[in-house]
Amino acid sequence: MLSSKKWIGAFLQESRISDLVLYFRSKIWVVRGAKLSHGSYVVIDWTGLRAAAAEAAKRAYAPYSRLRVGAAGLTADGRVVTGCNVENASFGLTLCAECGLVSALHATAPSPPPGPPGPALVAVAVVAGDGDALLPCGRCRQLLLEAGGAALLVDTAGGPVPLGELLPAAFDGADLSARRGPG
């Protein structure tokens, strides 16, 4: 469904645009190119990501809130990972859809990373059971930050925005390293 078609990436890079609407076999594909840290482009099929998130939302286990949520993310190496919310009778143990997505991001990696992993998520769509975009809660913004960095694009009702705009001035690993005590 998703692909990192090189010619589209090159075209986007050349043309300095980042959005592209494709008509293919009477379906509309809204694609967007995200510039990766290593300079290449990956094409984000937002329509496909939203559909994958909606499909995941159908599998949500949400007997307590009845708010079904699904999430789908595109990785820098072109994989799509998904998650749905899984609630618990002890409400505080509930796993959001983005928790599942971040878990799957690592657990389903094709091979164990050789060194410390860099940000791997490029784009994320989160939808409720009604099929429309739902904004991640604070916890999940923090989880996504560690998985994709501030440049990770998050879908919203008004279109994709960088995660850095949803979690500005974020606490992160640098704080942890710099501010910890001697022992």
Q: How far is the CB of 151 from a second copy (least distance, A)?
A: 17
Question: Does residue 115 interact with a second copy by CB under 8 A?
Answer: no
The residue type found at 93 is: L
Q: Which of residues 8-37 bind a second copy (CB under 8 A)?
A: none
Binder to a second copy among 22, 65, 77, 78 (CB under 8 A)?
Answer: 65
For a second copy, what does the binding mask look like between residues 155 and 174, x meaning CB under 8 A? -x--------xxxxxxxxx-
Question: Does residue 87 interact with a second copy by CB under 8 A?
Answer: yes
Question: Does residue 103 interact with a second copy by CB under 8 A?
Answer: yes
Question: Catalytic residue among 14, 55, 87, 98, which?
Answer: 98
Identify which of residues 19 and 61 has a Cβ nearer to a second copy in the complex: 61
Known active-site residue 146? no
- Kindly state the DSSP code that residue 133 receives in the 8-state scheme: B
How many CB atoms are closer than 10 A to CB 131? Answer: 12
Alpha helices in 87-157 (DSSP H): 97-107, 138-148
Place of tokens 């143990």: 93
Which residues are paired to 87 by β-bridges?
Answer: none
Q: How far is the CB of 41 from a second copy (least distance, A)?
A: 26
Nearest to 61 by CA among 30, 12, 94: 94
Contact 86, 96 (CB under 8 A): no
Residues classed as catalytic? 98
